[in-house]
Amino acid sequence: MNTRLYGTTGKLIRVDLTEGRIWEEALAEDVIKKYLGGTSLGAKCLYEEVNPKISWSDPQNHVYLFSGPLGGARIAGSGCFSAVTKGVHTGGVTSTQANGNFGAYLKFSGFEGIAIHGASQSWKYLYIHDGKAELKDADHLLGKDTWETEDAIKEELGFKEGHMSVFSIGPAGENLVKFAGIHGDRGHTAAHNGIGAVLGSKKLKAVAVSRSRGKVEVADTQKLKEAYKALVENFKKAAGGEIYKWGTSRVVPAAAKGGILPVKNYTTALFPQAPDFDVRERFETHRAPCIFCPSFHHMHIKITEGQFSGFEGKEPEYEQYAAFGPQIGQPDPAAAIILSNDCDRLGFDTNELGWILGWVMECYERGLLSAKDLDGLEMTWGNVDATRALMKNIAARRGFGDVLAEGIKLASEKVGGEAKDMAIFTQKGCIPRGHDHRTKWWEFLDTCVSESGTLQNQLLMLDLSPYGLNNQFDGHSWEEVSTIEGKTTGTLTFVDSLVICWFACSGNIPLLCDALNAATGWAFTFDQALEVGRRAVTLMRAYNIRAGISSKLDRPSTRYGSTPPDGPGQGLSVLSHLDDMLRNYYKHMGWDPNTGVPTPETLEKLGLKHVIADLA
C-alpha cells in the first residue's frame, strides 16, 4: 500500500455555501508530508486561497476545520481539530484548537478536514457521515444555545450520546459578536479571534459528524501501541502528575502563588480566596474524557451545596475559573462554574469575555460607566446576577451589549479616555489567555508576536534539552526568555498540525515523532517536526504582513504592558525590555531584527520560496 494512505484519508471535503455545492479534493502526498494537517495545512490553504485584503465577513473568506495524521489514531488526545480562517479582531490569520471527538470522527468518516467557502442565504448546518456530506436547513435551530443545538441535531438525525460530534455557534455567533467561538462535545471550545462570528457571517449554525464505522489505517499497529503507552506514562509524570489527575482544576491556587493570576483587571495580584477554587473533592464529578484519553482532565460537575446546589454541567478549565472568579472579583467557585457554563452555551470566547467583564466593572467602580449606561445593571465587582444579565445582552447585541459585542479593544476605544487605558489587549486586536502575563514574560512575548490571534508557543511541561537549551532559566531575563521563545517557537504549531492535545503529549516531541512514524511509516525527526511548525508560523507571519499587520503592532495595550502593583511580580516591568526582546526573538526566528519580516534566506530554507516575491 502506498505510504500516503497510512495515517491519512488523503482527501478534504469542500463546501460552497453560496452555491450549496459539496465536493471532495485529493491531497497530494508531498503536501501531507510538508504540512501534515491542522494548523499548518490550514495556514497553507488560507495563504493560497484567501486574499489577505478582504474583510473577515466577506463570503470569499474560508474556514478550515482540519484534523491531522494522528487524528483518530489510538493516541490520547487524537480527537482534536484546528480551525483556521481570516480572523475578526486582527484581520490576519486565526488558528484555534478544540479537544473532544470531532477530529477523530471526521477521520472515521473519511476526511482529513473541511474547507468552508462562501455564505448561505439561509441558515444551514453541515452533516457528515460515512464518507458523505450534506447541507441541512437550520432555521429551527436559531436562538438555541450550543448545548441545545447539539441535542436537537442528535435527536433530529437519530444519534445517541457519544455517536456524533456537533460543534456549533450559539446566539453570540448568530449575532456576529466579534469574540464568538464554536463549541461542542459538551464543553469543548475553539474560540479565539472570532471564529464563531465568521461562521455566523456564513449562516452556518453547526457541523455535525457521525462516528461512522470507518477507521484510520496505520503503518505499524504494534509501534503505535508502544507510542501510546509511552505518551500516557509521560503524561502521568508531567507536572508532577497534576494535569493527568486533576486537569487544570488546581491551577488557580498555584497561579495565585506565582503572581500570574489575573485579579480585578490587573489592578492587583492578590486573591485570598484562590484555595477555595480547588473544588473537585468538594463537589461531585465524573469523567467525560476525549476519545482514547485515560486521564481525569475533562470532567462533568455537580454543585452539591450553596445557592447553586443541584446544578450540573461542565467543569471549568483554569481559564474559565480565572475569568469568572478573580478577574471579576468574584470569590465563589460555584458561581464561576455557573458563569462558565453560561459562557459556553451562549457561545463566547471565555478569555475575551473575562477581560470585558473585568474592564466594565473597573469602569463602573471609577464612575466611567454608570448603571444608566449599562441598561440598569449595577456592575459592581463580583455581581453574579448582573454579570449573567450582561452576558445575555452582549450575545443579543442588546443595549450597551452591542458596544461590548465589538470586543475589548474596539469597545474601550469607543468609550475612550481613561477607560481605553484600562483595557487588556494587544495592538493587533487579539487578547491574552487568562493569566497575568506581566509576571509570565515568555507568554507575554508570545501573545504580543502571535500570528494566530492566540497562544502559538508553549513552554509548560516542555523539555528544552532537545533544543540545546537549559531547562533552568531566569523567567524575568529578557534575553533568556526571548532566546528560548525564538528557538522553540514552532513546537506547539507542530502539535496543532498533528492534531493532538498538548496535555496528552506533555510537550514530548520525540515521543510524538515516534507516534507519527508508527502511524504513517515515515522517519520524521525532531528537526523536521520543528521545521513544520516554524514553516507554518512564518507563513502566517507573511500572510499577516500582506494583510497590513506590521511589527509595530507586536505590542501591548497600556494596561496589558503595565507594572504589577503588588504580589510576587510587584515592580517587574516587562514593557521596558520589550524592544530588546522583539529584536532578539525576530533574529532567532530568521526574520529581520528591525522589521520582523522573514528574510529570503529563511523563506527558502523553509520551502517557502514562493513567498519571497509576495513580501517584496
Residue range 194-230, pLDDT digits in tens: 999 999 999 999 999 999 988 899 999 999 999 999 9
Helix ranges (H only) for 379-490 are 384-396, 401-404, 408-415, 418-421, 441-449, 478-488
Q: For 533, phi and psi rounded to 5 degrees?
A: -65, -45
pLDDT of residue 249: 86
Mean pLDDT of 558-581: 97
pTM of the model: 0.97
Question: Do the strands 124-129 and 204-210 form a parallel or antiparallel pair, or are they unpaired?
Answer: parallel
Q: How far apart are CA 314 and CA 478, in angstroms?
A: 39
Residue range 133-143, pLDDT digits in tens: 999 999 999 99
* Cβ 396 vs Cβ 145: under 8 Å: no
pLDDT of residue 3: 44
Residue range 446-480, pLDDT digits in tens: 999 999 999 999 999 999 999 999 999 999 999 99
pLDDT of residue 258: 96
Residue range 478-527, pLDDT digits in tens: 999 999 999 999 999 999 999 999 999 999 999 999 999 999 999 999 99
Extract the C-alpha cell encoding 92. Answer: 490576519
pLDDT of residue 222: 98
Q: How far apart are CA 142 and CA 140, in angstroms?
A: 6
pLDDT of residue 215: 87
Helix ranges (H only) for 450-490 are 478-488
Residue range 225-268, pLDDT digits in tens: 999 999 999 999 998 999 999 999 899 999 999 999 999 999 99
DSSP percent split of the chain into helix, strand, coil, nearest 5:
45, 15, 45
Average pLDDT, the chain: 96
Burial 188-214 (b: 16+ CB within 10 A, else e): bbbbbbbbbbbbbbbbbbbbbbbbbeb
Cis bond before residue 499 (omega within 30° of 0): yes
Kindly tell me if the per-residue pLDDT of 5 is higher than 90. no
- Say how many CA atoms lie within 13 Å of 502 toward its Cβ: 20
Mean pLDDT of 335-341: 98
Extract the C-alpha cell encoding 281. Answer: 473533592
